Structure 1
Protein backbone atom coordinates (compact mmCIF):
# COMPACT_ATOMS: atom_id res chain seq x y z
CA UNK A 1 0.00 0.00 0.00
CA UNK A 2 1.21 3.49 -0.77
CA UNK A 3 -0.13 6.88 0.22
CA UNK A 4 -1.81 7.94 -2.99
CA UNK A 5 -3.38 11.24 -2.00
CA UNK A 6 -3.42 14.07 0.47
CA UNK A 7 -5.74 14.66 3.37
CA UNK A 8 -9.01 16.33 2.45
CA UNK A 9 -10.24 16.55 6.04
CA UNK A 10 -8.40 16.82 9.32
CA UNK A 11 -9.65 17.34 12.87
CA UNK A 12 -13.19 17.67 11.56
CA UNK A 13 -12.25 20.50 9.18
CA UNK A 14 -11.83 20.67 5.40
CA UNK A 15 -8.23 21.04 4.29
CA UNK A 16 -7.09 24.23 2.56
CA UNK A 17 -3.86 23.87 0.63
CA UNK A 18 -1.34 26.69 1.08
CA UNK A 19 1.57 26.19 -1.29
CA UNK A 20 4.03 28.17 -3.42
CA UNK A 21 1.34 29.01 -5.98
CA UNK A 22 -1.42 29.99 -3.52
CA UNK A 23 -2.94 33.35 -4.35
CA UNK A 24 -4.78 35.98 -2.29
CA UNK A 25 -8.13 34.14 -2.32
CA UNK A 26 -8.06 32.68 1.19
CA UNK A 27 -10.80 31.47 3.55
CA UNK A 28 -12.18 34.48 5.45
CA UNK A 29 -12.10 32.61 8.76
CA UNK A 30 -8.76 30.98 9.56
CA UNK A 31 -10.48 28.72 12.10
CA UNK A 32 -12.80 27.22 9.50
CA UNK A 33 -10.20 25.03 7.80
CA UNK A 34 -7.17 22.87 8.48
CA UNK A 35 -4.23 24.55 6.75
CA UNK A 36 -1.80 22.38 4.80
CA UNK A 37 1.48 24.22 4.25
CA UNK A 38 3.68 22.62 1.62
CA UNK A 39 6.69 23.35 -0.53
CA UNK A 40 7.25 22.42 -4.15
CA UNK A 41 10.18 20.41 -5.43
CA UNK A 42 12.26 23.53 -5.99
CA UNK A 43 12.41 26.90 -4.32
CA UNK A 44 10.71 28.40 -2.40
CA UNK A 45 11.46 26.06 0.49
CA UNK A 46 8.93 25.09 3.15
CA UNK A 47 10.02 27.77 5.61
CA UNK A 48 9.56 30.45 2.96
CA UNK A 49 6.01 29.30 2.23
CA UNK A 50 5.39 29.19 5.99
CA UNK A 51 6.65 32.77 6.31
CA UNK A 52 4.20 33.90 3.63
CA UNK A 53 1.45 32.02 5.44
CA UNK A 54 2.19 33.98 8.62
CA UNK A 55 2.01 37.23 6.67
CA UNK A 56 -1.38 36.59 5.11
CA UNK A 57 -3.29 34.36 7.53
CA UNK A 58 -4.52 35.22 11.01
CA UNK A 59 -2.55 32.50 12.74
CA UNK A 60 -4.08 33.33 16.12
CA UNK A 61 -7.35 31.81 14.81
CA UNK A 62 -5.77 28.62 13.43
CA UNK A 63 -6.70 25.43 15.27
CA UNK A 64 -5.43 22.77 12.82
CA UNK A 65 -2.18 22.70 10.85
CA UNK A 66 -0.74 20.18 8.41
CA UNK A 67 2.91 20.12 7.37
CA UNK A 68 2.98 18.93 3.78
CA UNK A 69 5.95 18.21 1.54
CA UNK A 70 9.10 19.89 2.90
CA UNK A 71 11.83 18.45 0.74
CA UNK A 72 15.29 17.19 1.61
CA UNK A 73 16.54 17.98 5.12
CA UNK A 74 20.07 17.22 3.91
CA UNK A 75 19.99 20.44 1.91
CA UNK A 76 22.07 23.24 3.47
CA UNK A 77 20.00 25.37 5.84
CA UNK A 78 16.93 23.16 5.44
CA UNK A 79 14.38 23.71 8.21
CA UNK A 80 12.30 20.90 9.67
CA UNK A 81 8.66 22.09 9.84
CA UNK A 82 8.42 21.20 13.52
CA UNK A 83 11.34 23.51 14.24
CA UNK A 84 9.70 26.38 12.36
CA UNK A 85 6.40 25.83 14.14
CA UNK A 86 8.03 25.77 17.56
CA UNK A 87 9.85 29.01 16.78
CA UNK A 88 6.50 30.59 15.84
CA UNK A 89 4.56 29.09 18.73
CA UNK A 90 3.40 32.46 20.07
CA UNK A 91 1.59 33.05 16.78
CA UNK A 92 -0.61 29.97 17.33
CA UNK A 93 -2.25 30.33 20.76
CA UNK A 94 -5.18 28.06 19.82
CA UNK A 95 -3.45 25.24 17.91
CA UNK A 96 -5.14 21.96 18.77
CA UNK A 97 -4.34 19.56 15.93
CA UNK A 98 -1.12 18.95 13.99
CA UNK A 99 -0.27 16.50 11.22
CA UNK A 100 3.40 16.26 10.25
CA UNK A 101 4.01 14.61 6.89
CA UNK A 102 0.95 14.81 4.65
CA UNK A 103 3.06 13.71 1.71
CA UNK A 104 1.76 11.55 -1.13
CA UNK A 105 3.69 8.93 -3.08
CA UNK A 106 4.43 11.20 -6.03
CA UNK A 107 6.25 13.53 -3.62
CA UNK A 108 8.03 10.95 -1.46
CA UNK A 109 7.67 7.39 -0.24
CA UNK A 110 6.76 7.09 3.43
CA UNK A 111 10.15 5.56 4.20
CA UNK A 112 12.00 8.51 2.65
CA UNK A 113 10.37 11.23 4.76
CA UNK A 114 13.11 12.80 6.87
CA UNK A 115 12.37 13.96 10.39
CA UNK A 116 14.30 15.30 13.33
CA UNK A 117 13.33 15.74 16.98
CA UNK A 118 9.56 15.83 17.46
CA UNK A 119 9.71 16.35 21.23
CA UNK A 120 9.53 20.17 21.44
CA UNK A 121 6.20 20.43 19.66
CA UNK A 122 4.22 18.98 22.58
CA UNK A 123 5.52 21.50 25.08
CA UNK A 124 5.28 24.39 22.62
CA UNK A 125 1.54 23.96 22.10
CA UNK A 126 -0.11 23.23 25.46
CA UNK A 127 -3.62 22.97 23.94
CA UNK A 128 -2.58 20.35 21.38
CA UNK A 129 -5.13 17.54 21.44
CA UNK A 130 -4.17 15.69 18.29
CA UNK A 131 -0.71 14.85 16.93
CA UNK A 132 -0.21 12.66 13.88
CA UNK A 133 3.08 11.88 12.13
CA UNK A 134 3.88 10.15 8.84
CA UNK A 135 7.38 8.83 8.18
CA UNK A 136 10.21 8.01 10.53
CA UNK A 137 13.69 8.54 9.05
CA UNK A 138 15.64 10.41 11.73
CA UNK A 139 12.55 10.67 13.92
CA UNK A 140 13.40 11.24 17.58
CA UNK A 141 11.19 11.60 20.61
CA UNK A 142 11.80 11.93 24.32
CA UNK A 143 9.07 11.21 26.89
CA UNK A 144 6.59 14.07 26.99
CA UNK A 145 3.87 15.25 29.34
CA UNK A 146 0.52 16.70 28.32
CA UNK A 147 -2.93 16.80 29.85
CA UNK A 148 -4.42 18.02 26.56
CA UNK A 149 -3.24 15.33 24.13
CA UNK A 150 -6.02 12.89 23.26
CA UNK A 151 -4.99 11.40 19.94
CA UNK A 152 -1.49 10.25 18.95
CA UNK A 153 -0.78 8.48 15.68
CA UNK A 154 2.40 7.36 13.91
CA UNK A 155 2.14 6.17 10.29
CA UNK A 156 5.47 4.59 9.39
CA UNK A 157 7.09 1.80 7.45
CA UNK A 158 9.42 1.31 10.41
CA UNK A 159 8.86 2.97 13.78
CA UNK A 160 12.10 3.26 15.77
CA UNK A 161 12.18 1.44 19.08
CA UNK A 162 13.29 4.63 20.82
CA UNK A 163 10.10 6.39 19.73
CA UNK A 164 7.93 3.50 20.91
CA UNK A 165 9.69 3.53 24.28
CA UNK A 166 9.37 7.32 24.57
CA UNK A 167 5.63 7.16 23.97
CA UNK A 168 5.35 4.38 26.54
CA UNK A 169 7.19 6.50 29.10
CA UNK A 170 5.17 9.65 28.43
CA UNK A 171 2.72 11.17 30.89
CA UNK A 172 -0.51 11.44 28.88
CA UNK A 173 -3.38 10.93 31.34
CA UNK A 174 -6.10 11.92 28.85
CA UNK A 175 -4.84 10.04 25.79
CA UNK A 176 -7.82 8.25 24.25
CA UNK A 177 -6.57 7.13 20.84
CA UNK A 178 -3.15 5.63 20.05
CA UNK A 179 -2.00 4.20 16.72
CA UNK A 180 1.49 2.79 16.13
CA UNK A 181 2.39 1.53 12.65
CA UNK A 182 5.37 -0.55 13.74
CA UNK A 183 6.69 -1.51 10.31
CA UNK A 184 9.69 -3.63 9.41
CA UNK A 185 13.32 -3.75 10.45
CA UNK A 186 14.57 -2.84 6.97
CA UNK A 187 13.03 0.60 7.43
CA UNK A 188 13.90 1.11 11.08
CA UNK A 189 11.09 -0.77 12.81
CA UNK A 190 13.11 -2.42 15.55
CA UNK A 191 10.57 -2.46 18.41
CA UNK A 192 9.76 -5.81 20.01
CA UNK A 193 6.60 -7.19 21.55
CA UNK A 194 8.21 -6.61 24.94
CA UNK A 195 8.38 -2.88 24.15
CA UNK A 196 4.58 -2.87 23.87
CA UNK A 197 4.04 -4.06 27.45
CA UNK A 198 3.44 -0.55 28.88
CA UNK A 199 0.56 -0.03 26.44
CA UNK A 200 -0.96 -3.40 27.22
CA UNK A 201 -0.72 -3.26 31.00
CA UNK A 202 -3.50 -0.71 31.33
CA UNK A 203 -1.80 1.57 33.85
CA UNK A 204 0.09 4.12 31.72
CA UNK A 205 -2.84 5.63 29.83
CA UNK A 206 -6.00 5.43 31.94
CA UNK A 207 -8.23 7.17 29.37
CA UNK A 208 -7.23 4.98 26.41
CA UNK A 209 -10.23 3.76 24.39
CA UNK A 210 -8.61 2.90 21.06
CA UNK A 211 -5.36 1.01 20.57
CA UNK A 212 -3.80 0.28 17.21
CA UNK A 213 -0.68 -1.90 16.99
CA UNK A 214 -0.44 -2.25 13.26
CA UNK A 215 1.57 -2.81 10.10
CA UNK A 216 3.81 -5.42 11.67
CA UNK A 217 5.35 -8.72 10.56
CA UNK A 218 4.99 -9.89 14.18
CA UNK A 219 1.22 -9.39 14.16
CA UNK A 220 0.56 -12.92 15.46
CA UNK A 221 2.82 -12.37 18.45
CA UNK A 222 1.14 -9.02 19.11
CA UNK A 223 -2.27 -10.71 18.94
CA UNK A 224 -1.13 -13.27 21.51
CA UNK A 225 0.05 -10.49 23.83
CA UNK A 226 -3.17 -8.53 23.34
CA UNK A 227 -5.29 -11.60 24.08
CA UNK A 228 -4.33 -11.45 27.75
CA UNK A 229 -3.70 -7.73 28.11
CA UNK A 230 -5.49 -5.86 30.92
CA UNK A 231 -5.97 -2.73 28.77
CA UNK A 232 -8.34 -4.56 26.41
CA UNK A 233 -11.19 -4.61 28.90
CA UNK A 234 -11.65 -0.85 28.67
CA UNK A 235 -11.06 -0.43 24.94
CA UNK A 236 -13.87 0.45 22.57
CA UNK A 237 -11.87 -0.33 19.45
CA UNK A 238 -8.79 -2.38 18.66
CA UNK A 239 -6.75 -2.49 15.46
CA UNK A 240 -4.29 -5.20 14.50
CA UNK A 241 -4.59 -4.27 10.84
CA UNK A 242 -2.12 -3.69 7.99
CA UNK A 243 0.18 -6.53 9.00
CA UNK A 244 0.42 -10.26 8.46
CA UNK A 245 -2.08 -11.59 10.98
CA UNK A 246 -2.57 -15.27 10.25
CA UNK A 247 -4.77 -18.07 11.55
CA UNK A 248 -2.38 -18.42 14.47
CA UNK A 249 -3.06 -14.85 15.55
CA UNK A 250 -6.79 -15.30 15.07
CA UNK A 251 -6.70 -18.39 17.28
CA UNK A 252 -4.87 -16.41 19.97
CA UNK A 253 -7.61 -13.78 19.94
CA UNK A 254 -10.36 -16.40 20.03
CA UNK A 255 -8.80 -18.25 22.96
CA UNK A 256 -8.01 -15.13 24.96
CA UNK A 257 -10.17 -12.78 26.99
CA UNK A 258 -13.61 -11.83 25.65
CA UNK A 259 -13.69 -9.14 22.98
CA UNK A 260 -17.47 -8.89 22.78
CA UNK A 261 -17.47 -5.48 24.50
CA UNK A 262 -15.62 -3.88 21.59
CA UNK A 263 -17.45 -1.70 19.14
CA UNK A 264 -14.91 -2.39 16.41
CA UNK A 265 -12.09 -4.82 15.64
CA UNK A 266 -9.94 -3.94 12.64
CA UNK A 267 -7.81 -6.72 11.17
CA UNK A 268 -7.87 -5.80 7.48
CA UNK A 269 -4.84 -6.63 5.32
CA UNK A 270 -4.11 -10.06 6.74
CA UNK A 271 -3.23 -13.59 5.68
CA UNK A 272 -6.03 -15.39 7.52
CA UNK A 273 -8.09 -18.05 5.81
CA UNK A 274 -11.81 -17.52 5.20
CA UNK A 275 -12.50 -20.04 7.95
CA UNK A 276 -10.54 -18.07 10.53
CA UNK A 277 -12.27 -14.83 9.56
CA UNK A 278 -15.65 -16.53 9.81
CA UNK A 279 -14.81 -17.80 13.28
CA UNK A 280 -13.84 -14.29 14.41
CA UNK A 281 -17.09 -12.85 13.10
CA UNK A 282 -19.15 -15.60 14.70
CA UNK A 283 -17.46 -15.12 18.07
CA UNK A 284 -18.11 -11.36 17.98
CA UNK A 285 -21.72 -10.98 16.78
CA UNK A 286 -22.17 -7.45 18.11
CA UNK A 287 -18.78 -6.16 17.02
CA UNK A 288 -17.96 -4.47 13.71
CA UNK A 289 -15.17 -6.69 12.39
CA UNK A 290 -13.28 -5.14 9.50
CA UNK A 291 -11.41 -8.02 7.89
CA UNK A 292 -11.47 -6.77 4.33
CA UNK A 293 -9.90 -9.31 2.03
CA UNK A 294 -6.69 -11.26 2.58
CA UNK A 295 -3.67 -9.48 1.18
CA UNK A 296 -3.01 -12.43 -1.13
CA UNK A 297 -5.78 -13.61 -3.43
CA UNK A 298 -4.35 -17.11 -3.33
CA UNK A 299 -4.17 -17.19 0.47
CA UNK A 300 -4.08 -20.67 1.93
CA UNK A 301 -3.81 -22.11 5.42
CA UNK A 302 -0.89 -20.55 7.27
CA UNK A 303 0.20 -21.04 10.82
CA UNK A 304 2.44 -18.00 10.64
CA UNK A 305 3.46 -15.35 8.11
CA UNK A 306 6.94 -16.89 7.92
CA UNK A 307 5.52 -19.83 6.00
CA UNK A 308 4.83 -17.59 3.01
CA UNK A 309 7.66 -15.39 1.75
CA UNK A 310 5.16 -13.28 -0.19
CA UNK A 311 3.33 -12.10 2.91
CA UNK A 312 4.02 -8.43 3.55
CA UNK A 313 2.96 -5.53 5.72
CA UNK A 314 0.81 -2.89 4.07
CA UNK A 315 3.31 -0.03 4.38
CA UNK A 316 7.08 -0.41 4.31
CA UNK A 317 8.72 1.66 1.60
Structure 2
Protein backbone atom coordinates (compact mmCIF):
# COMPACT_ATOMS: atom_id res chain seq x y z
CA UNK A 1 0.00 0.00 0.00
CA UNK A 2 2.85 2.35 0.89
CA UNK A 3 4.54 1.68 -2.43
CA UNK A 4 1.30 2.52 -4.26
CA UNK A 5 1.05 5.84 -2.39
CA UNK A 6 4.69 6.52 -3.18
CA UNK A 7 4.12 5.87 -6.87
CA UNK A 8 1.10 8.18 -6.85
CA UNK A 9 3.15 10.92 -5.21
CA UNK A 10 5.96 10.45 -7.73
CA UNK A 11 3.52 10.62 -10.64
CA UNK A 12 1.94 13.75 -9.19
CA UNK A 13 5.34 15.34 -8.66
CA UNK A 14 6.38 14.46 -12.23
CA UNK A 15 3.21 16.05 -13.62
CA UNK A 16 3.60 19.19 -11.52
CA UNK A 17 7.37 19.59 -11.97
CA UNK A 18 7.39 21.17 -15.49
CA UNK A 19 4.88 23.85 -14.52
CA UNK A 20 6.60 24.42 -11.17
CA UNK A 21 9.99 24.84 -12.82
CA UNK A 22 8.52 27.17 -15.41
CA UNK A 23 6.94 29.35 -12.71
CA UNK A 24 10.11 29.32 -10.63
CA UNK A 25 12.46 30.40 -13.43
CA UNK A 26 10.14 32.84 -15.21
CA UNK A 27 8.11 34.25 -12.31
CA UNK A 28 9.74 33.70 -8.91
CA UNK A 29 13.37 34.34 -9.88
CA UNK A 30 12.61 37.55 -11.85
CA UNK A 31 10.55 38.83 -8.94
CA UNK A 32 13.39 38.09 -6.50
CA UNK A 33 15.79 39.93 -8.81
CA UNK A 34 13.39 42.85 -8.99
CA UNK A 35 13.17 43.05 -5.19
CA UNK A 36 16.99 42.98 -4.93
CA UNK A 37 17.30 45.70 -7.59
CA UNK A 38 14.76 47.87 -5.76
CA UNK A 39 17.10 48.16 -2.76
CA UNK A 40 20.16 48.84 -4.90
CA UNK A 41 21.60 52.02 -6.36
CA UNK A 42 21.59 53.49 -9.83
CA UNK A 43 24.92 53.11 -11.61
CA UNK A 44 26.89 56.10 -12.86
CA UNK A 45 25.89 55.25 -16.45
CA UNK A 46 22.48 53.97 -15.45
CA UNK A 47 21.38 50.45 -14.68
CA UNK A 48 22.04 48.83 -11.31
CA UNK A 49 24.90 48.63 -8.90
CA UNK A 50 24.90 46.71 -5.61
CA UNK A 51 23.91 48.57 -2.50
CA UNK A 52 21.18 48.87 0.07
CA UNK A 53 18.92 51.88 0.33
CA UNK A 54 15.27 52.66 0.91
CA UNK A 55 15.54 55.88 -1.09
CA UNK A 56 13.62 54.54 -4.08
CA UNK A 57 10.63 53.48 -1.99
CA UNK A 58 10.68 56.85 -0.21
CA UNK A 59 10.69 58.55 -3.63
CA UNK A 60 7.59 56.76 -4.98
CA UNK A 61 5.69 60.02 -4.67
CA UNK A 62 7.68 61.37 -7.62
CA UNK A 63 5.51 59.16 -9.82
CA UNK A 64 2.31 59.89 -7.93
CA UNK A 65 0.43 60.88 -11.11
CA UNK A 66 1.09 57.46 -12.63
CA UNK A 67 -0.29 55.82 -9.47
CA UNK A 68 -3.33 58.12 -9.45
CA UNK A 69 -4.10 57.50 -13.14
CA UNK A 70 -3.63 53.75 -12.82
CA UNK A 71 -5.59 53.33 -9.59
CA UNK A 72 -8.38 55.57 -10.91
CA UNK A 73 -8.76 54.71 -14.59
CA UNK A 74 -8.12 50.96 -14.22
CA UNK A 75 -11.08 50.40 -11.81
CA UNK A 76 -13.29 52.77 -13.82
CA UNK A 77 -12.36 50.92 -17.00
CA UNK A 78 -13.15 47.58 -15.36
CA UNK A 79 -16.50 48.91 -14.15
CA UNK A 80 -17.41 50.19 -17.62
CA UNK A 81 -16.43 46.83 -19.13
CA UNK A 82 -18.62 45.09 -16.55
CA UNK A 83 -21.63 47.31 -17.20
CA UNK A 84 -21.43 46.54 -20.91
CA UNK A 85 -20.30 42.93 -20.65
CA UNK A 86 -22.94 41.61 -18.25
CA UNK A 87 -25.98 42.39 -20.46
CA UNK A 88 -24.09 41.06 -23.48
CA UNK A 89 -23.09 37.85 -21.68
CA UNK A 90 -26.61 37.44 -20.28
CA UNK A 91 -28.10 37.70 -23.76
CA UNK A 92 -25.57 35.24 -25.17
CA UNK A 93 -26.06 32.66 -22.41
CA UNK A 94 -29.77 32.99 -21.59
CA UNK A 95 -31.72 34.82 -24.27
CA UNK A 96 -29.98 34.07 -27.57
CA UNK A 97 -31.05 31.33 -29.97
CA UNK A 98 -28.92 28.21 -29.23
CA UNK A 99 -28.49 27.70 -32.98
CA UNK A 100 -26.86 31.14 -33.29
CA UNK A 101 -24.97 31.14 -30.00
CA UNK A 102 -21.69 29.80 -31.37
CA UNK A 103 -21.67 32.48 -34.07
CA UNK A 104 -22.36 35.24 -31.55
CA UNK A 105 -19.63 34.03 -29.21
CA UNK A 106 -17.25 33.90 -32.17
CA UNK A 107 -18.05 37.54 -32.95
CA UNK A 108 -16.98 38.42 -29.39
CA UNK A 109 -13.65 36.63 -29.83
CA UNK A 110 -12.88 37.81 -33.40
CA UNK A 111 -11.31 41.16 -32.30
CA UNK A 112 -8.50 39.17 -30.67
CA UNK A 113 -7.53 37.94 -34.13
CA UNK A 114 -6.23 41.44 -34.86
CA UNK A 115 -3.30 43.00 -33.03
CA UNK A 116 -4.24 45.39 -30.24
CA UNK A 117 -1.68 47.79 -31.68
CA UNK A 118 -3.52 47.93 -35.02
CA UNK A 119 -6.91 48.34 -33.33
CA UNK A 120 -5.60 51.12 -31.10
CA UNK A 121 -4.11 52.94 -34.09
CA UNK A 122 -7.56 52.76 -35.70
CA UNK A 123 -9.01 54.53 -32.67
CA UNK A 124 -6.26 57.14 -32.91
CA UNK A 125 -7.55 57.99 -36.38
CA UNK A 126 -11.21 57.92 -35.31
CA UNK A 127 -10.61 60.20 -32.32
CA UNK A 128 -7.96 62.33 -34.03
CA UNK A 129 -8.41 65.62 -35.88
CA UNK A 130 -9.42 63.86 -39.11
CA UNK A 131 -12.00 61.63 -37.41
CA UNK A 132 -14.92 62.50 -35.16
CA UNK A 133 -13.69 66.06 -34.33
CA UNK A 134 -13.58 66.81 -38.06
CA UNK A 135 -17.17 65.61 -38.49
CA UNK A 136 -18.28 67.71 -35.50
CA UNK A 137 -16.48 70.71 -36.95
CA UNK A 138 -18.45 70.29 -40.20
CA UNK A 139 -21.74 70.64 -38.31
CA UNK A 140 -20.60 73.66 -36.33
CA UNK A 141 -19.19 72.08 -33.16
CA UNK A 142 -15.62 73.33 -33.13
CA UNK A 143 -12.47 72.75 -31.10
CA UNK A 144 -13.48 69.33 -29.77
CA UNK A 145 -10.48 67.33 -28.58
CA UNK A 146 -11.00 63.63 -28.01
CA UNK A 147 -7.52 62.20 -28.44
CA UNK A 148 -4.91 62.45 -25.67
CA UNK A 149 -7.55 62.59 -22.94
CA UNK A 150 -8.59 60.24 -20.11
CA UNK A 151 -11.85 59.63 -22.00
CA UNK A 152 -9.93 58.35 -25.02
CA UNK A 153 -7.93 56.03 -22.77
CA UNK A 154 -11.11 54.69 -21.16
CA UNK A 155 -12.65 54.13 -24.59
CA UNK A 156 -9.59 52.18 -25.70
CA UNK A 157 -9.66 50.17 -22.46
CA UNK A 158 -13.31 49.19 -22.89
CA UNK A 159 -12.82 48.32 -26.55
CA UNK A 160 -9.65 46.30 -25.93
CA UNK A 161 -10.66 44.42 -22.80
CA UNK A 162 -14.42 43.95 -23.19
CA UNK A 163 -14.14 40.37 -24.58
CA UNK A 164 -12.06 39.37 -21.54
CA UNK A 165 -14.91 40.51 -19.33
CA UNK A 166 -17.68 38.94 -21.40
CA UNK A 167 -16.31 35.40 -21.60
CA UNK A 168 -16.00 34.53 -17.85
CA UNK A 169 -19.47 35.95 -17.20
CA UNK A 170 -20.86 34.06 -20.19
CA UNK A 171 -19.37 30.78 -18.97
CA UNK A 172 -20.79 31.36 -15.49
CA UNK A 173 -24.27 32.16 -16.84
CA UNK A 174 -24.23 29.26 -19.28
CA UNK A 175 -23.75 26.85 -16.36
CA UNK A 176 -26.78 28.33 -14.60
CA UNK A 177 -29.46 25.73 -13.84
CA UNK A 178 -32.57 26.96 -15.69
CA UNK A 179 -34.77 25.04 -13.24
CA UNK A 180 -33.83 27.56 -10.56
CA UNK A 181 -35.20 30.37 -12.70
CA UNK A 182 -38.38 28.39 -13.37
CA UNK A 183 -38.78 27.63 -9.67
CA UNK A 184 -38.39 31.30 -8.83
CA UNK A 185 -41.06 32.22 -11.38
CA UNK A 186 -43.38 29.47 -10.09
CA UNK A 187 -43.06 30.90 -6.58
CA UNK A 188 -44.32 34.25 -7.85
CA UNK A 189 -41.08 36.18 -8.12
CA UNK A 190 -40.95 38.89 -10.75
CA UNK A 191 -38.17 38.72 -13.38
CA UNK A 192 -36.24 41.53 -11.71
CA UNK A 193 -36.45 39.77 -8.32
CA UNK A 194 -35.33 36.50 -9.91
CA UNK A 195 -32.35 38.26 -11.44
CA UNK A 196 -31.13 39.83 -8.20
CA UNK A 197 -31.91 36.83 -5.97
CA UNK A 198 -30.90 33.95 -8.26
CA UNK A 199 -29.10 34.89 -11.46
CA UNK A 200 -26.72 37.56 -10.17
CA UNK A 201 -25.50 35.71 -7.04
CA UNK A 202 -24.89 32.50 -8.99
CA UNK A 203 -23.02 34.35 -11.74
CA UNK A 204 -20.95 36.47 -9.35
CA UNK A 205 -17.92 34.13 -9.43
CA UNK A 206 -17.73 34.73 -13.20
CA UNK A 207 -18.16 38.45 -12.63
CA UNK A 208 -15.33 38.54 -10.11
CA UNK A 209 -13.12 36.48 -12.41
CA UNK A 210 -13.69 38.95 -15.23
CA UNK A 211 -13.18 41.98 -12.99
CA UNK A 212 -9.98 40.57 -11.51
CA UNK A 213 -8.63 39.55 -14.92
CA UNK A 214 -9.31 42.91 -16.55
CA UNK A 215 -8.19 45.01 -13.57
CA UNK A 216 -4.92 43.12 -13.15
CA UNK A 217 -4.08 43.52 -16.84
CA UNK A 218 -5.02 47.20 -16.77
CA UNK A 219 -2.74 47.88 -13.81
CA UNK A 220 0.23 47.09 -16.05
CA UNK A 221 -1.22 48.56 -19.26
CA UNK A 222 1.21 50.51 -21.43
CA UNK A 223 0.05 50.60 -25.04
CA UNK A 224 -3.40 52.22 -24.73
CA UNK A 225 -2.33 55.11 -22.45
CA UNK A 226 0.74 55.68 -24.62
CA UNK A 227 -1.17 55.91 -27.91
CA UNK A 228 -4.57 57.27 -26.91
CA UNK A 229 -3.26 59.29 -23.97
CA UNK A 230 -0.42 60.81 -25.97
CA UNK A 231 1.95 60.82 -23.02
CA UNK A 232 -0.47 62.99 -21.04
CA UNK A 233 -2.27 60.12 -19.32
CA UNK A 234 0.51 58.11 -17.68
CA UNK A 235 0.00 54.63 -16.25
CA UNK A 236 2.49 52.70 -14.11
CA UNK A 237 3.36 50.66 -17.19
CA UNK A 238 4.45 53.85 -18.96
CA UNK A 239 6.48 54.88 -15.92
CA UNK A 240 8.26 51.51 -15.92
CA UNK A 241 9.15 51.78 -19.60
CA UNK A 242 10.50 55.29 -19.01
CA UNK A 243 12.58 54.26 -15.99
CA UNK A 244 14.02 51.06 -17.45
CA UNK A 245 14.57 52.00 -21.10
CA UNK A 246 15.02 55.78 -21.14
CA UNK A 247 16.34 57.12 -17.84
CA UNK A 248 17.81 53.67 -17.03
CA UNK A 249 17.02 54.03 -13.34
CA UNK A 250 16.57 50.31 -12.73
CA UNK A 251 16.38 50.42 -8.91
CA UNK A 252 13.59 53.05 -8.92
CA UNK A 253 11.79 51.17 -11.69
CA UNK A 254 12.09 47.96 -9.68
CA UNK A 255 10.63 49.65 -6.59
CA UNK A 256 7.61 50.76 -8.63
CA UNK A 257 7.31 47.27 -10.13
CA UNK A 258 7.34 45.69 -6.67
CA UNK A 259 4.53 47.97 -5.50
CA UNK A 260 2.61 47.14 -8.69
CA UNK A 261 2.90 43.43 -7.96
CA UNK A 262 1.68 44.03 -4.40
CA UNK A 263 -1.31 45.98 -5.75
CA UNK A 264 -2.11 43.11 -8.13
CA UNK A 265 -1.94 40.60 -5.27
CA UNK A 266 -4.26 42.75 -3.14
CA UNK A 267 -6.76 43.06 -6.01
CA UNK A 268 -6.68 39.29 -6.53
CA UNK A 269 -7.17 38.55 -2.84
CA UNK A 270 -10.11 40.97 -2.61
CA UNK A 271 -11.76 39.42 -5.67
CA UNK A 272 -11.30 35.90 -4.30
CA UNK A 273 -12.62 36.95 -0.89
CA UNK A 274 -15.76 38.51 -2.37
CA UNK A 275 -16.42 35.52 -4.62
CA UNK A 276 -15.91 33.12 -1.71
CA UNK A 277 -18.23 35.04 0.61
CA UNK A 278 -21.03 35.24 -1.94
CA UNK A 279 -20.80 31.78 -3.48
CA UNK A 280 -19.88 29.99 -0.25
CA UNK A 281 -17.02 28.17 -1.98
CA UNK A 282 -13.49 29.10 -2.85
CA UNK A 283 -13.32 30.41 -6.39
CA UNK A 284 -10.11 28.87 -7.67
CA UNK A 285 -10.74 30.28 -11.17
CA UNK A 286 -9.23 33.54 -9.99
CA UNK A 287 -5.86 32.02 -9.19
TM bracket, shorter-chain basis: under 0.3
Structure holding more helix per residue:
2
Which structure is richer in relative contact order (CA contacts within 8 A, separation 6 or more)? Answer: 2
Structure holding more strand per residue:
1
Query: Greater CA radius of gyration, 1 or 2?
Result: 2
